[in-house]
Amino acid sequence: MKEIVINPITRLEGHGKIVLVLDDAGNCKKGYLQVPEIRGFEKFAEGRHAEDMPQITSRICGVCPFAHHMASTKALDDLFKVEPPTAAKKVREVAYNIFMLEDHALHVYFLGGPDFIVGPTAPKAERNILGVIAKVGKEVGLKVITMRKKLRKTNEMIAGRTIHPVLGLPGGVSRPISSGEAQEIKKLADESLDFALFTLKTFKDIVLSKKEYVDLITSDAYTHRTYYMGLVDEKNKVNFYDGKIRVVSPSGKEFARFDVHDYPENVSEHVEPWTYVKFPFLKKVGWKGFVDGEDSGIMSVAPLARLNASDGMATPQAQEAYEEMFKTLGGKPVHHTLANHWARTIEMIYAAERFKELANDPEITNPNTRNLPTAVPRVGIGVVEAPRGTLIHQYETDDRGVIKKANLLVATQHNSARMALSVDKAARSLIKGGKIDDGMLNMVEMAFRAYDPCHGCGTHTLPGSMPFMIYVYGENGALIETVKRNLP
């Protein structure tokens, strides 16, 4: 028996380390995705001022700080029992949709996208943003870079900073948007929508036009029948900022629809001794190990899951794209992990359209953006849809608003079980007869890069493919061979 360790040394403290176990025939019999990192935010949150949590928890991730900032801020509204003024809610949602758009764009063009846009078989050196530029043209490439820069600058204007924002306070936001700023925002909103639509078009032209890609997307290696979870509005349309949590079964039936306050009755976390990450699952179905299907509580979140868990998009052009996707991929729910890329571009359109609606809403310049809390704090729960899925913050405090206990259900974590499945399945279906080649390994890697996992963003690599170092060990644990993947 052999053991293969794939160590994505893009970050030594882990964020995904793969161990493949081969039987004597050299077929992969098990693949493990390990997360060997823990930073303990839940612990050191204790003793801190509750109102500081939006800024403290944003430090969990510098790529999606807005997600934690916003979930935390909403938890504070709930904790201090204070309703923000409508203007404040809209300001938050503007910033949040700008963020979703910009973060998705990062993934589509810089991270996951290159696999398709440049092509999985293309030379590694090209499988990055530069490759993308080469493929789609320089002006397009610059368009992407400048678009992203504009979006981030705008969020800096609204939220003080774009990495680790300071906007959120219980009962509102720290500053209103001036009418001057609103003008710029309007302009940007129009550009953003064009950009999002352009992105979908590019994705279609380059990916969906090629049969082999579509086959790849729909291939069994990348398919799991799991539950899907996401936030929906009262019409069961996708919403990033607020709503009820909806869960649909592998067969697409509504399994649960609950307020975030009821999450403890619906979600539990399973612990494995070989990884620091916990595995959330549907409490009412139960933990049945790393298997999919109706009887396994394993669920999935993030773009595809959100689309599966909803009845559509709240904006017209996103809705159109939504219908097209499900039509093409054979109806709801879609179980193909790689369809996340497509779903992501659809969500970009929604984010842009929603952004535009809000940008044209005169309310966003209303100077009244704060209500001061008066209630004695006790417990507060907040939820948002992070780019990488449903994100929940819960705080319990003393009368002075000092955190006694904190619980954070991080988006990527909700996917961790399904990701483990994906890696295991991909490895088992791809690695046979002890033959390991680079292409296979990229396939294995694609299996979980599609989730855009963010265990501290370990897989965000510009080259668009994660460099691997592979060690093949013999039964006795002796190193037999090492394979390097795209090292200079």
Of residues 71-110, those binding other proteins (CB under 8 A):
76, 80
Q: Which one, 54 or 333, has the nearer CB to other proteins?
A: 54
Q: Which one, 128 or 315, has the nearer CB to other proteins?
A: 128
Nearby residues of 425 by Cβ (< 8 Å), 6 or more positions away: 31, 221, 224, 447
Residue 466 Cβ, how far from other proteins at the closest point, in Å?
A: 8
Task: Tell me the pairing of strands 299-300 and 227-232.
Answer: parallel
Residue 47 Cβ, how far from other proteins at the closest point, in Å?
A: 6
391 in contact with other proteins (CB under 8 A)? no
Identify the residue whose tokens are 């993308």. Answer: 132
Whether 197 contacts 147, CB under 8 Å: no
380 in contact with other proteins (CB under 8 A)? no
Distance from first CA to last CA of the chain, Å, rounded?
31
Out of 26, 27, 36, 379, which residue is the one contacting other proteins (CB under 8 A)?
Answer: 36
Q: Which one, 51 or 385, has the nearer CB to other proteins?
A: 51
Site for other proteins in 266-295 (CB under 8 A): 267-276, 278, 280, 283, 287
**Interface stretch with other proteins, choices 236-244, 321-329, 433-441, 457-465 (CB under 8 A):** 457-465
47 in contact with other proteins (CB under 8 A)? yes
Measure the CA–CA gap between 333 and 340, rounded to whole angstroms.
12
Measure the CA–CA gap between 452 and 107, rounded to whole angstroms.
7
**Interface stretch with other proteins, choices 2-10, 182-190, 225-233, 319-327 (CB under 8 A):** 2-10
Q: Which one, 200 or 277, has the nearer CB to other proteins?
A: 277
Residue 487 Cβ, how far from other proteins at the closest point, in Å?
A: 6
CA 435 to chain centre: 33
Out of 24, 25, 49, 121, which residue is the one contacting other proteins (CB under 8 A)?
Answer: 49
Out of 74, 92, 152, 356, which residue is the one contacting other proteins (CB under 8 A)?
Answer: 152
Out of 400, 433, 476, 478, which residue is the one contacting other proteins (CB under 8 A)?
Answer: 400
Supply the DSSP symbol for 52.
G
372 in contact with other proteins (CB under 8 A)? yes
Q: Which one, 210 or 288, has the nearer CB to other proteins?
A: 288
Which DSSP string do the residues of 124-173 spell out, in sequence order?
Answer: GGGSSHHHHHHHH-HHHHHHHHHHHHHHHHHHHHHHS-SSS---EETTEE
52 in contact with other proteins (CB under 8 A)? yes
CA angle 360, 363, 364 (to 5 degrees): 70
Q: Which one, 80 or 342, has the nearer CB to other proteins?
A: 80
Out of 24, 43, 330, 479, which residue is the one contacting other proteins (CB under 8 A)?
Answer: 43
27 in contact with other proteins (CB under 8 A)? no
Distance of CA 309 to CAs 72, 86, 329, 382, 479, Å? 24, 27, 16, 20, 45
Residue 413 Cβ, how far from other proteins at the closest point, in Å?
A: 11
Measure the CA–CA gap between 166 and 159, rounded to whole angstroms.
6
Q: Which one, 269 or 324, has the nearer CB to other proteins?
A: 269
Q: Where are the alpha helices (DSSP H) in 333-431?
A: 340-359, 411-430
For the chain, the farthest-separated pair of C-alpha atoms sits apart, in whole angstroms, at 70
**Interface stretch with other proteins, choices 46-54, 335-343, 354-362, 422-430 (CB under 8 A):** 46-54
CA 217 to chain centre: 19
CA 380 to chain centre: 23
> Phi and psi for 380 in degrees, rounded to 5?
-140, 140
Site for other proteins in 211-270 (CB under 8 A): 263-264, 267-270
484 in contact with other proteins (CB under 8 A)? yes
Measure the CA–CA gap between 92 and 83, rounded to whole angstroms.
13
143 in contact with other proteins (CB under 8 A)? no
Q: For the purposes of burial, counting CB atoms within 10 Å of the CB of 471, is it exposed (0-12), middle (13-18) or buried (19 or more)?
A: middle
42 in contact with other proteins (CB under 8 A)? yes
478 in contact with other proteins (CB under 8 A)? no
Q: Which one, 209 or 368, has the nearer CB to other proteins?
A: 368
175 in contact with other proteins (CB under 8 A)? yes
56 in contact with other proteins (CB under 8 A)? yes
379 in contact with other proteins (CB under 8 A)? no
**Interface stretch with other proteins, choices 86-94, 341-349, 378-386, 453-461 (CB under 8 A):** 453-461
Measure the CA–CA gap between 14 and 458, rounded to whole angstroms.
7
